[in-house]
Amino acid sequence: MFRHRVLPEATVTIDEVTTTPASPIGYSVDELARKVGMSPRNIRAHQARRLLPPPVRRGRAALYDDSHVRRLDAILALQRQGFNLVSIEAMLGARASDEAPDGLTAMLQRLAADRPALAHALTRHGVIGRTTDGTVRTVRPRPLRAALDLHRVRVGTVPALQTLSEVLDSLRPVADELVAAVTARLLTLAPELARSDARSSWADLDRETLLLTQGVVNVLTEAFRLAVENQSEAHIAELLENHLDADVCLEDSTVIDNG
């Protein structure tokens, strides 16, 4: 089966990160980048993902303050612990939650209490998250519902969610390689994607980056779905048949009386 890795619980919250006071005027994006050790482009990318609130506009100037410093420090600290941006979105409340039925919310609360390592793993993958008062919430409802739908074939909640977590652990390095390979291939086949003269501002670059990201996600998602659908039916039927045959042989050997 899949190998399941459990990372340590996150030890950083936004309020725990200490910084020096901001100047009364605030920071430009370049000053903020130097202060936190992050490129201006990454700062803008975090804004686009809503991980970072927008700056305050004063005339033509966009200024950041200490709250932005604390948020970026928290993001960097969580990344050093091994969390990806999807997980950090869930943990910091940047990704909107799905309106889950009361029964599902109660189930997730019990899971967090009874199986904290499993709940932590699902949080790390951005499937569930927590509100500021500690309530567990649904962040990515589709994979969660897909796993829970296995109850139709008598798979319990914990085994289903454990399997989902292990599948996500196994797919993470594969996804890293595929995203890099597909993006590199697109840049080769469509070199205009990398041309700077087609963009007039950082906002244009941020918008195109988000559009390209979503496009790569959509292509990989549908291609993987098709590949799995093409292979699953015959393989699962064969595995189930072999498993049932083994059970029948075992039961038959226990009831035959030779004498």
**Weakest-pLDDT range from 46-60, 138-152, 191-205:** 191-205
Which residues have CB under 8 Å from 3's CB, separation 6+?
166, 169, 170
pLDDT at 183 over 80: yes
Mean pLDDT of the chain: 79
Q: What percent of the chain has pLDDT over 70?
A: 75
pLDDT tens, residue by residue, 99-141: 556 678 889 999 999 999 999 899 888 888 877 677 888 888 8
Quick one: pLDDT at residue 110?
92
Give the residues across from 61 on adjacent strands. Answer: 58
Query: What is 229-241 written as a DSSP string?
Result: HHHHHHHHHHHHH
Predicted model pTM: 0.63
Contact 140, 127 (CB under 8 A): yes
**Adjacent-strand bridge partners of 129:** 137
